[in-house]
Amino acid sequence: MSQTRLIAIEQDILAKNDSFAAVNRQFFAAKGVFVLNLMSSPGSGKTTLLTRTLTDLKGRFPMAVIEGDQQTSFDADRIRATGTPAIQVNTGKGCHLDAQMVTQAVGRLPVATGSVLFIENVGNLVCPAGFDLGEAHKVVVLSVTEGEDKPLKYPAMFAGADLLLVNKVDLLPHLTFDVARMIAYARQLKPNLRVIEVSATTGQGLEDWYGWIEEGLAKAVATR
């Protein structure tokens, strides 16, 4: 296949995705739903952080989750155990969620007016970066057990993010991970990137994370 043909196909796929994303965004805006697209590499602790978040915020406002994985419903089962409604989307060989998958999932998920919808994307730092889901913000989770150079290796992901959660900071005394260096790399790509250091184990930084969510939800409700 020629390079020109490849580019044309990619443009067609992204254009179709963007049209679904626009519909999703309009639907969420009309209902005052604050939507977060959570992305990370496998093993970052994203699901553990999300279950801790759902548990701690339970009762403050309605929440729901769209859970993306290539196979199994293990993570969605963990989410439902918190009492939060969740839909599992298995992508098979696909390495990311797309906007049409979100459209279909929302049709089967009780998404309340004035709620927070977490979309936990498939675990990798490449494919999800290129697909708008109709979310309000892209949130990247990077654990301190990963490499400090991840932002430079996967620039599209970090350049497109609105928030970086540096996870598992409770393990820092046992590692040589340089948080400041990693953040500096990320801000080379996006100078105004918001960064919060968190631990789902000790609770460090979680109130800042929760405050950021509540602020975003308040804006979504106010502009409904």
Per-residue model confidence (pLDDT) at position 6 = 47
Per-residue model confidence (pLDDT) at position 11 = 59
Q: Measure Cα distances from 198 to 69, 90, 115, 131, 206 in Å.
A: 24, 28, 23, 26, 6
Q: Is the dihedral of CA 14, 18, 19, 20 positive or negative?
A: positive
d(C-alpha 136, C-alpha 142), whole Å: 20
- Nearest alpha carbon to residue 89 among 114, 107, 116: 107
Mean pLDDT (the chain, rounded):
93
pLDDT tops 60 at residue 31: yes
168: left (phi over 0), alpha (psi -120 to 50) or beta: left
Angle between the N-to-C axes of helices 206-222 and 46-57, in degrees from 0 to 180, rounded to the nearest 10:
70
**In one letter, which amino acid is 80?**
R
Mean pLDDT check: name the lowest of 5-19, 61-75, 81-95, 177-191. 5-19
Query: Per residue in 88-124, is it b (16+ CB within 10 Å) or e — as a string?
Result: bbebeeeebbbbbbbbebbeeeebeeebbbbbbbbbb
Per-residue model confidence (pLDDT) at position 12 = 66
> Which helix (DSSP H) or strand (DSSP E) does residue 208 occupy?
helix 206-222
Q: Which two tokens stand for residue 53?
A: 């978040």
Structure confidence by residue, pLDDT tens digits, 93-124: 888 999 999 999 999 999 999 999 999 999 99
Per-residue model confidence (pLDDT) at position 10 = 54
What is the average pLDDT across 75-89? 94
Query: What percent of the residues of the chain are helix, what percent strand, and what percent coil, each to the nearest 5?
Result: 45, 20, 35
β pairing state of 137-143 and 34-40 = parallel
- Nearest alpha carbon to residue 210 among 116, 86, 113: 116
Which pTM value belongs to this model?
0.93
3-state secondary structure of 104: helix
- Look up the CATH architecture of domain 3-222: 3-Layer(aba) Sandwich (3.40)
- Scanning 32-114, the segments in alpha helix (DSSP H) are 46-57, 74-80, 99-106
Mean pLDDT check: name the lowest of 66-75, 155-164, 180-189, 203-212. 66-75
Token pair 């969620």 is found at 97
Answer yes or no: are the C-beta atoms of 136 and 34 closer than 8 Å.
yes
What is the band of 185 on the pLDDT scale with cuts at 50, 70, 90? very high
Q: Where are the domains of the chain?
A: 3-222
